[in-house]
Amino acid sequence: MPSFPAYRPRRLRRTHALRRLIRETWLEPSQFVLPLFVRSGTGVRQPIESMPGVAQTSVDELLRDAHEAVSLGIGGVLLFGIPDKKDAIGSDAWNDDAPVQQAIRALKREVPGLVVITDVCLCEYTDHGHCGVIRDGDVDNDATLELLARESVSHARAGADIIAPSDMMDGRVRAIRAALDNEGFLNTAILSYAAKYAGPFYGPFREAAESTPQFGDRRSYQMDAGNSDEALREVLLDIEEGADMVMVKPAGPFLDIIHRVKTETGYPVAAYQVSGEFAMIQAAAERGWIDRERVMMESLLGIRRAGADVIVTYFAREAAKAL
Ligand code: PBG
């Protein structure tokens, strides 16, 4: 009889080589997607105060970031547009010459190795900052679908690989899929922000995207943080409507949702480590309270371990460098 205990878990933790041999979860730069904010002009690089290292840039500067991303092995970029003008229906969203559409064309021409994903939503484009058109003080779901479809087709026409609707209107995946197919974009994929929770973690982003709602909040369309079964219903609905990939957002506070979505659907799952999650790590590190690189890597590893195939993160470049 072996002396107690027969199994000693510490045996395989003794050296780095042993730990590496039996590690279950790995991070790869190819799994990262870097969000980029694009606006008009040339030579523009406007830092976002609450997101150190993140900036709004013009297309030429965005190309530099994209070249760096591809040389680091990063999988893709997620584009957000800051329009020159906003109006009640967000009409610049489907303007073929707006900054995002220009950026897509430039990326496909100059950085073909990068997957180009575009955020489809109206909140950056509407003067009221909501994700759809307003009627009687509320976001009108069905009137918004047609506009999201137009925006998606405009992105596909510019050459986007993947369209990522983040508005949380009911029926948008079906409407977008139908519009893309009608226009012949059968191979443009849809990554739906399927389980997107309303909450406080998007604050810094709204500064970056200039998309703070001018009245009310997003709780009548984004999800309630207490709900898990509802996330599954949202995800299954989007899959039924034609989503190729689904997203959970935010990531860190919703690891259980990532895990459920992955195990219960088997679909490619993306998780968005959002601006607030990023800002918290940056702020604590600035104060010297945590080790920035190690906390960054562990936050990403946790998201992977929960089941995410793809991680959208403002740390993409830094994390790829650390790997
Ligand atoms: C647009 C959108 C938001 C984010 C991604 N797409 C903001 C929101 O819903 O208010 C948040 C991203 C982040 O916080 O990093 N609807």
Return the amino acid letter for 169: M
Domain regions of the chain by residue span: 26-322
Query: Are 196 and 168 in contact, with CB atoms under 8 Å apart?
Result: yes
> Containing H/E element for 114?
none
How many residues comprise the chain? Answer: 323
The rounded distance, in Å, linking the Cα atoms of 175 and 320 is 36
Residue-wise pLDDT tens digits, 85-114: 999 999 999 999 999 999 999 999 999 999
Nearest CA, atom 2, ligand 1: 166
Nearest CA, atom 5, ligand 1: 166
Query: Are 29 and 73 in contact, with CB atoms under 8 Å apart?
Result: yes
In the chain, the percentage of residues whose pLDDT exceeds 70 is 99
In the chain, the percentage of residues whose pLDDT exceeds 90 is 94
Residue-wise pLDDT tens digits, 221-262: 999 999 999 999 999 999 999 999 999 999 999 999 999 999
Nearest ligand 1 atom to alpha carbon 166: 16
- Decide if 196 is catalytic: yes
Distance 3 CA to ligand 1 centre (A): 56
Residue from 121, 197, 218, 280 to probe ligand 1 pocket by mutation (most atoms less than 8 Å from CB): 121
Mean pLDDT of the chain: 96
Tell which CATH architecture fits domain 26-322.
Alpha-Beta Barrel (3.20)
* SS3 label, residue 271: strand
Residue numbers in the chain where pLDDT is lower than 50: none
Distance set, CA 304 to CA 25, 114, 225, 270, 292 (Å): 7, 21, 21, 9, 19
pLDDT of residue 2: 66
Which residue in 85, 108, 196, 262 is the catalytic one?
A: 196
Residue-wise pLDDT tens digits, 159-168: 999 999 999 9
Distance 4 CA to ligand 1 centre (A): 54
Six token digits for residue 185: 């974009």
